[in-house]
Structure 1
Amino acid sequence: MVTGRAADDPASGTAALRDRLRAALTEAMKARDRVAAAALRSALAAIDNAEAVEVPEVRAGAIEDSATGLGSAEVPRRDLSAGDIAAIVRAEIHERRSAAAEYESGGLLDRAGRLRAEADALAALL
């Protein structure tokens, strides 16, 4: 959750969809809606993964060459725009709908229905 941002800050749009996803996850968990909770957890994880930065090549070396001190080896995460986050959620929806079509063509209608329900839960928040 992003805190301390003004309402007119362009980055506050970034937090809006993420906050809606988190609030919907809480509601889905309270309602024991496993399908929606799974979809929301997956979408939030995809957003978190997109914010991750590339890890430099790890190589063996002497201890004295390593970073020292609290947080010295940490780097800030990427800042995603509201459009980036919406694109990630749309990709999650598309992925579920295409997988549901494949399951349906294979005769696995219960799995297809679950994936369609997950896609609908995410689409409702866009």
Structure 2
Amino acid sequence: MAQEYFKPAEGGVLVDVNCGSGLFSRKFAKSGTYAQVIALDFSENMLRQCYDFIKNDVTILTTNLALVMADVSRLPFASGSIDAVHAGAALHCWPSPSNAIAEINRILQSGGIFVGTTFL
């Protein structure tokens, strides 16, 4: 379903914010749909778990998947440089959702796509 939302971003750069174990990051990368997928998380432990899953999956296209440790309120990307941002079940974890949304808006190119979900 997420792939359908991100159809306009095909061939571009997709950031999976709060990637956790990288379930979605790995699926996005395996699809071969994006020039680059960036799995981003604030937690070094979660990124380590994501990396472990990646290195144990011989089918993944590691050439288009990067792991980045960063705070969603201070994303290390140039303004307007990202085609799509995914934040699955993440918004409730953010200390300042309004700052995070503003930062996501800053990095998205004009017409870029943001899909975010949370637990209630």
TM score, norm. by length of structure 1: 0.29
Bigger Rg over Cα: 1
Between Structure 1 and Structure 2, the one with more strand by share is 2
**Greater helix content:** 1
